[in-house]
Structure 1
Amino acid sequence: MRGLEDRVVLVTGGGSGVGRAIVDRFLDEGARLAVLERDADKVASLESIGSKELVTVTGDVTSYADNERAVAAAVETFGRLDVLIGNVGMWDFSRNLVDLSPGELEAGFRDLFAVNVLGYLLGARAAAAALKRSRGAIILTLSNASFYPRGGGVLYTATKHAGLGLVRQLAYELAPEVRVNAVAPGAMATNLTGPKSLGLDRRQIKDIPIQEYLEKHSALERAIEPADYAGTYALLASSHDALTVTGTVFDISAAGTPHRAR
């Protein structure tokens, strides 16, 4: 498969989970990649791939300067930027409103919105000029929590609903040069963590028996791996397969589909 031949793509949070699955799939399809990643071990893992088609930038999506450096790295290394994939996120481990103290509510709001919403805005702002020049695309990672309850707690769900608004507004503002869409995966076992302000920075979603739940209760009765989601990103990043698609969120979360009656 070489459907992304020579497409220049910037992925934020590309060191693990869905982000790493995107990196692997896109390299296989011929893309050239820049990755903005905060974790030094994940950066080292990416660099161990040893591909001349991959450049890494160590930084934080909540910093505009770091987003700007990542865009510059893509343009300086590969000559342009065609696609921005915003993929960094935090989960709140389904903390309900009444289970949060007022202090936790305030701090958790700041932390989750900074990563899940502001991080996307800063990335889009840093990349906008380059993407307009290339008539490129933005793809954001959202969640089934962008549409439904029970995909997380009140704070996470609010951030993902906000992400839905970002897609629609940015698609309007950046048209006709830039297409803006999102992919909404469901649950999977990754090292997704939560904010330190809620004491969730050392927990990972894979510590919960997610795979067992999916096998028993999802419509497809199968566990989902990050690589299972990467194809939708490849479709939206294509220079020819999704040229009429903008302002759209693809809900690909089999786990969000009610289990059929028996």
Structure 2
Amino acid sequence: MARLEGYRAVVTGAGSGIGRAVVARFLTEGAKVVAVVRKTADAESLSAMGAVAVIGDVSQYDTAERAVAAATETFGGLDVYVANAGLWDFHRRMEKQSPEELARGFDEVFGVNVLGALYGARAAVEALRASGGSVIVTGSNACVLGGGGGVLYTASKFALRGLVMQLAKELAPQVRVNGVAPGATNTSLSGPLALGQAGKELNADADRMAVMQQHMLLGRVSEPEDHTALYVLLASRTESPYVTGAMLMSDGGLTISI
């Protein structure tokens, strides 16, 4: 039996990587999905998969508002909001950035990684209370230790972990709030325009991927699909009814290996 039969979901950052894999898994598990993307080509591709696509920037509140409206108007409600969209900073060190770059980079990285999730929760809270649903964010091993990125990325992921914990308190008992924290993953995750990294992709550098693999206890860098079962678990009211405020590690042992 499909584990999310009849569930209605929003997934942001759905154009590639973990977000796209979550959309595909949710559809397979019987859910109806609104997929939030930045590009028209991604919207068309996801529509062909059976999702309803919304184009927008998650750092703008109206994107979350439109995504929730698409779910409630098309599907009759919302059961889970997956705030997955994110930016990486390619380990950019503080002293390699001017004060102006730090300010612009902070606004862009936190706007997507933290404010995007907060906006999603705010836009979705009424619908999620009505359904007894949940919010799921995509964290990182950088939620719990340094070294998973540069100063901006790591700070944003620590903030995201705090956001999960605080929202779990504020939205209980009607809405559960949790996260999945992947480690090194073979995705095209890009960086902020403010740091000149918008055209870069995490998995485009074979040497970088090889270094990441050396730290993985399980001997390989993960694929996006390796993490999707945890999103299904946290979305399900029957499989994780007593889980809230949690950040589930899915990092191949990276956190305990360094």
**Does the aligned pair in 1 maintain the 2:184–2:221 contact within 8 Å?**
no
Deviations along 1:136-185, whole A, 9 cap, x unmatched? Answer: 00000010000011100000000000001100000000001000000000
The question of whether the paired residues in 2 share the 8 Å contact of 1:219 and 1:257 is answered with no
What is the CA distance between 1:257 and its match in structure 2? 3.8
How much has 1:258 moved relative to structure 2? 4.6
Unaligned runs of 5+ residues in structure 1 are: none
Question: Corresponding residue for 1:6?
Answer: 6
**Residue 172 (structure 1) aligns with:** 169
TM norm structure 1: 0.94
Partner in structure 2 of residue 242 of structure 1: 240
Query: Any conservation in 1 of the 2:141–2:255 contact (CA below 8 Å)?
Result: no
> How high is the TM-score relative to the length of structure 2?
0.96
Q: How many residues align?
A: 257
Q: Which residue of 203, 206, 209 corresponds with 1:206?
A: 203
Task: Tell me, in whole angstroms, the C-alpha distance in 2 between the residues paired with 1:80 and 1:107.
Answer: 37
**Superposition CA RMSD, Å:** 1.4
User: Within 2, Cα distance between the matches of 1:64 and 1:121?
Assistant: 9
Unmatched tracts of structure 2, length 5 or more: none
Partner SS, residue 57 of structure 1: strand
Deviation at 1:13, TM superposition (A): 1.2
Equivalent in the alignment of 2:48: 48
Correspondence for 2:106:
109
> 1:189 offset after TM fit, Å?
2.0
The answer to whether the 8 Å contact 2:215/2:254 transfers is: no
List structure 1 segments (4+ residues) > 2 angstroms apart after TM superposition. 208-217, 257-260
Query: Do 1:211 and 1:224's aligned partners in 2 also have CA atoms closer than 8 Å?
Result: no
The residue type paired with residue 223 of structure 1 is V
Contact preservation (8 Å) 1:10, 1:84: yes
Deviations 1:49-91 (A, max 9, x none): 2x2xx21111111111121111011011111100000000000
In structure 1, the residue matched to 2:158 is 161
Deviations 1:230-258 (A, max 9, x none): 01001000120000000010111115245
Partner of 2:88: 91
Q: Which amino acid counterpart does residue 89 of structure 1 have in structure 2?
A: G
SS of residue matched to 1:9: strand
2:221 is aligned to: 223
CA deviation after TM superposition for structure 1 residue 48, in Å: 2.1
Identity in percent: 49
The one-letter amino acid of 2:238's match is H
